[in-house]
Amino acid sequence: MLLKVNLPQPIRIGPLAVPGNAFLAPMSGVSDLPFRRLCARFGASLVVSEMVAGEAVASGSQEAVLRASGEGLDCHIVQLTGREEGAMAFGVKVAEAAGADVIDINMGCPSRRVTQGYSGSALMRDLDHALRLIDATVAAASVPVTLKMRLGWDENAMNAPELAKRAQDAGIRMVTVHGRTRRQFFKGQANWNAIQTVKDAVSIPVVANGDLTAPEMAAEMLHQSGADAVMIGRGAYGKPWIIGQTAALLATRWPRRSRRSCWRAIARSCARTLRHDPDPLRNGARRPDRQKTSGLVSGRASFRGSGLRPAETGDVGNRPGHCIGNRAAHL
């Protein structure tokens, strides 16, 4: 039995209206431009770029600039991370030059490489410094700014509600919460109920993230968290259609696309991946790169049982994936 949840329609990120409630999470080595395009083609309401380091952009890194690209997306969201106010402000300008409709700030990445540089979820240990970065980013941006975080650094410092409230007061337009602490990394089970404390603390939209691996789980996630939308990360490995399925199911409809048209879309995406980054295995393949590419093959079994019904080739129906606001109106 599917749990019915009344959802506010549409979610708004500042002036932008998003006609859907299921988003692709930012994932290093996974949510590159071709993969984001593919997920959007399958109906994802929003897709977020790989994490882009403000300091890397400021130093002239071409890979960082490549990560910020968003050609072909109706709504382009760039996620920035960093520890210095000036670098974050510079990253905003680069992202906006690349056509960003929304800037997202990363304060949730648990990677040791990131947290040892006092970025990502390490910022949840120093909320005053986190707010200085938020202030600098919001001041530099001409587009809405959002924030992604965890529940806290560990079980003794579950300060996500405080950070969310202070971020809202500083001009943040939406917050996403992964239902684990940094210390948990991806171990154990995401605590969807704990996200409710963030929802209770703010009036801006809240997005729940963590352990959503099937569309049928989304209603329960929203029920437990009180959130306005869901974000899918690792659950999309090898299943780029799962986000569109989830958005459609929450809107009480089901996407109709033929299997042949879906696999044609995936084949085109693989070709675009190589055009986007001709050497994806540089310096050795990152683990997410391997999981994404191998998953598109192993995902055939899950696609066969996905419930997608035959339809006219190329039929995508009234798919989500468009921002309606100052810069885009495609519905």
Judged against a pLDDT cut of 90, whether residue 298 lies above it is answered with no
Confidence of residue 4 (pLDDT cuts 50, 70, 90): low
Nearest CA to 198 among 214, 218, 181, 179? Answer: 179
Q: Which is it for strands 102-107 and 229-232: parallel, antiparallel or unpaired?
A: unpaired
Residue 65, amino acid: V
CA–CA distance, 67 with 65 (Å, rounded to integer)? 5
3-state secondary structure of 145: strand
- DSSP-derived secondary structure letter, 116: T
Give the fold, CATH level 3, of 17-250: TIM Barrel (3.20.20)
Instruction: State the residue for tokens 């510079």.
Output: 90
77, 67 Cβ separation under 8 angstroms:
no
Instruction: State the residue for tokens 């996905």.
Output: 306
Name the residue ranges covered by the structural domains of the chain. 17-250, 259-304
pTM above 0.85, yes or no: no
% of the chain exceeding 90 in pLDDT: 65
Which residue out of 39, 109, 262, 323 is catalytically annotated? 109
CB neighbour class for 267 (10 Å; exposed up to 12, middle 13-18, buried from 19): exposed
Alpha helices per DSSP H over 119-212: 127-140, 160-169, 192-201
Q: Which helix (H) or strand (E) holds 50?
A: strand 46-53
Write the pLDDT tens digit of every residue in 242-297: 999 999 999 875 555 555 655 566 666 666 666 666 565 554 444 455 455 444 54
- DSSP-derived secondary structure letter, 15: T
* Distance, C-alpha 257 to centroid of its chain: 24
Nearest CA to 45 among 253, 316, 246, 281? Answer: 246
**∠ CA(17), CA(19), CA(20), 5° rounding?**
125
For the chain, how far is it from start to end, CA to CA, in angstroms? 32
Write the pLDDT tens digit of every residue in 147-183: 999 999 999 999 999 999 999 999 999 999 999 999 9
Q: Which helix (H) or strand (E) holds 41?
A: helix 33-41
148, 50 Cβ separation under 8 angstroms:
no
Residue 281, amino acid: L
82, 53 Cβ separation under 8 angstroms:
yes
Determine whether 39 is an active site residue.
no
3-state secondary structure of 103: strand
CA–CA distance, 264 with 278 (Å, rounded to integer)? 21
pLDDT of residue 260: 61
Show Cβ contacts of residue 263 under 8 Å, excluding neighbours closer than 6 positions: none
Write the pLDDT tens digit of every residue in 26-82: 999 899 999 999 999 999 999 999 999 998 988 888 899 899 999 999 999 999 999
